[in-house]
Structure 1
Amino acid sequence: MSILDKQYPTNVYRLILITAAAIWGLGFVIGKSAITTVGATWFTAIRFFGAGIVLLIILFPHIKRSFCRKTLKAGMIIGVATFLGFWTQFLGLGMTTPSKNAFLSACYCLTVPFIWWVVSRRRPPAKVFISAAICTAGIGMVSLTEGFSISLGDGISILSAFLYGAEIVIIGLVMRDNDILTTTVVQQFTSGILALLLALTTQPMPTAAQVITPEFIGAMAYVAVLSAAFGAVAQNTAQAHVSPSEAGLLCSLESVFCALFSVAFFGEVLTPRMALGFALIFASVVATQLGDKGGSTATNSSPEESADDGPAATTSRESSEPVKRNRGRITR
């Protein structure tokens, strides 16, 4: 039995998502110079292919045993969703300010409950909507530094929030009956192929002088190995045990970590407004746990609950009834 096959308390999977969010947040800061060097589309293509190659080398014996048509299909579906979220955020970033783009795309924590409601036809409890609203307000205080108005770039950034939300829901739905590691590798290569096709048709090829530098290689190594490879495995694993709504909320903490790392390592000033935003985001995460006693994972559920309730039914509930259990971003 591998470490991914074992069942852990739900709080372990929550911690995994928070760790992934921290890695993504630092990845935004580290990868910013690489994006400036080669452009967002080439950056995305290199990032996804790099992650896919790293995972393929490390996991080749496992993938050889587990690869099948069903896993290929699942990975491709998730990979398309992942690419669309990235691409629309980058498109919006080119037509609006970085702060507004970061805020609007990170609002996927608010879109996930509604998307999951439509898909599962099960209304999330009120605390989910309250928590998402508080989190959105907090992200706004952290990210927005100027007057707010809606432009075409803002609208595309909002679209990316829905696509990222859809990605989180799709992972929860598709991953439940597929091998996590093999599906993740297919996901990375699928996103990489789509990004490469877009890059080849819209941007010039990066030169050797641009990419053969310690700074660029170091940045891409971080985002490919940690942000992409580890982050994707961590998220796909955790979402088999955490509800889509809560996963969206925890993943959105990447915007908080991004700001914190900017303050800690790059001299950005922590203003009272940002501090209040951090407090609101933290309060939103705490609010999702109110009335939740935690507990064990899906192994405690009956077969009937597992069949009816989706990815995994745990004793950590979003409501008193069994619920379906199960991924903005430049950094992911």
Structure 2
Amino acid sequence: MTSRDDSIHLNPWAARLMLLAAAAAWGAGYTFEKIALRQMSVQWIMGVRLVIAVALMTLILWPKLRRAHLLDMLVPGLTLGITYWSAFLLQMEGLRTIGPGRNSFLTATYCVLVPFLVWAATRKRPAWRNFLAALLCVVGVGLISLSPNDSARLALSPGDLLTLAGAVCYGMNIVLAGSLAKNFDATILTYYELLVAGVLFLIGAALTEPAPQLATLHPQTIGALTYLVLVSTLIAQNLQNVAFSQVPAAQGSLILCTESLFGMAVSVLALGEELTTAHLVGFAIIFVGIVVSEVRIRRPGKAGDR
């Protein structure tokens, strides 16, 4: 017996707006992560934010959690949680040796990977517009993220390979979320996803990183953690998983690529980063890519594009 959430009936365009809101929340989160990193290591930040989010969700969802069948949710929760954890871990390990712009660009290649992963999982080839739109979005993210020094280095370093492996895991997580959200309650899926990933991060942090001195955290750090818990994790992850019940993974992944756009915008406003012509062109290309993914061209005598 599944735990499908029949109480949520989303208009597909409302679901797309939810994905856009999730991308905005994650994009803005980069600035708050930079603040939190001044006093805490990455795995501790991830573990603390996920476990606190799970504790809050337990209070909110307790009646629904009691009705859910744990055995039914075990495999979906584990697969989502492990892919979520491994994606972040590989991306962060890659970030240790390569620049943040290059890391962000290589991570965004999941936009291209998702249509192929959907194809492999369902044996149903996505429309050609999905592949074209994905390539456009990656080009746009590259213009936003990469500095001239980043783009000049074509050889793949170990950090690049780790980041690309993380992108594969992100893609797998999106495809799994898109598939599972159609058959299970999306909020319960998110609960177990965050629970599994949070426990794995705390174990990794306890084994490899010094414990943070919580009593000496600055108010700015506490404020940043509050945003990461409430907005980047609790709200954004639920928005993504609920939205994927209505939006195909290949299209939804393109909307999530706007994370880089929002990240740059917040960085310009909050940190005074310079906005260049390349950034503006990148924003425009991402927009075109999303439009291409939504346009369906009907040919005379054909059933229509998928």
Normalised by the size of structure 1, how large is the TM-score?
Answer: 0.84
RMSD: 1.8
| 1:66-96, Cα deviation, whole Å (9 max, x unpaired) | 2431123322221111101110000100111
User: Which has the larger displacement, 193-202 or 33-42?
Assistant: 33-42
Aligned to 1:21: 23
Q: 1:5 to 1:148 in 2, by over 3 A?
A: farther
1:189 matched to 2:191: no
Q: Does 48-57 or 234-243 show the bigger shift?
A: 48-57
- What secondary structure is seen at the aligned counterpart in 2 of 1:7? coil
Secondary structure of the structure 1 residue equivalent to 2:37: helix
Amino acid at match of 1:238: A
Return the offset for 1:9.
Answer: 2.1
In the other structure, the counterpart of 2:283 is: 278
1:213 to 215, 218, 221: 218
Q: 2:44 aligns with which of 42, 45, 66?
A: 42
Q: Secondary structure at the match of 1:177?
A: coil
Q: Which residue of 1 aligns with 2:96?
A: 94
Is the CA contact 1:17–1:235 (under 8 Å) kept in the aligned structure 2? yes
* Matching residue's letter, 2:226: A
Structure-2 separation of matches of 1:18 and 1:214:
29
For residues 20 and 4 of structure 1, what CA distance do their matches in structure 2 show?
22
Partner of 1:60 in structure 2? 62
Q: Would the aligned equivalents of 2:108 and 2:257 in 1 still touch at CA under 8 Å?
A: yes
Matching of residue 153 in structure 1 with residue 155 in structure 2: no
Match for 2:241 among 222, 227, 236?
A: 236
The number of residue pairs the alignment matches comes to: 294
Deviations 1:219-270 (A, max 9, x none): 1111111111111111110001111101111111111100011112221111
1:127-206 mapped onto 2 (5 Å cutoff)? 127-145=129-147, 146=149, 147-149=152-154, 150-206=156-212
In structure 2, how many angstroms separate the alpha carbons of the residues matched to 1:260 and 1:283? 18
Q: Is the 8 A contact 2:114 2:253 kept in 1?
A: yes
SS state at 1:36 partner: coil
Matching residue of 1:120: 122
Gaps of 5+ in 1: 294-318, 322-332
Contact 1:20 1:235 (C-alpha < 8 Å) held by counterparts: yes
| 2:252 equivalent in structure 1 | 247
TM-score, normalisation: structure 2? 0.91
Identity %: 31
For the residue of structure 2 that corresponds to 1:276, the secondary structure is helix
Structure 2 residues not aligned, in runs of 5+:
299-303
Could you tell me how far apart the structure 2 residues matched to 1:137 and 1:320 are? 24
CA offset digits 1:125-157 (Å, max 9, x no partner): 110010000100010000001233321101111
Counterpart position of 2:301: none
Q: In the alignment, is the contact (CA less than 8 A) between 1:128 and 1:245 conserved in 2?
A: yes
- Aligned counterpart, 1:82: 84
Letter in 2 for 1:288: S
Counterpart CA distance in 2 for 1:239 and 1:148 is: 36
Q: Secondary structure at the match of 2:115?
A: helix
- Would the alpha carbon gap of residues 244 and 136 (structure 1) be closer, same or farther in structure 2, given more than 3 Å must change? same
Give the secondary-structure state (helix, strand or coil) at the position aligned to 1:77. helix
What pairs with 1:258-269 in structure 2 (closer than 5 Å)?
258-269=263-274
Stretch of structure 1 that moved more, 234-243 or 146-155: 146-155
- Between 1:84-93 and 1:34-43, the stretch displaced more is 34-43
Q: State the AA in 1 paired with 2:176.
A: I
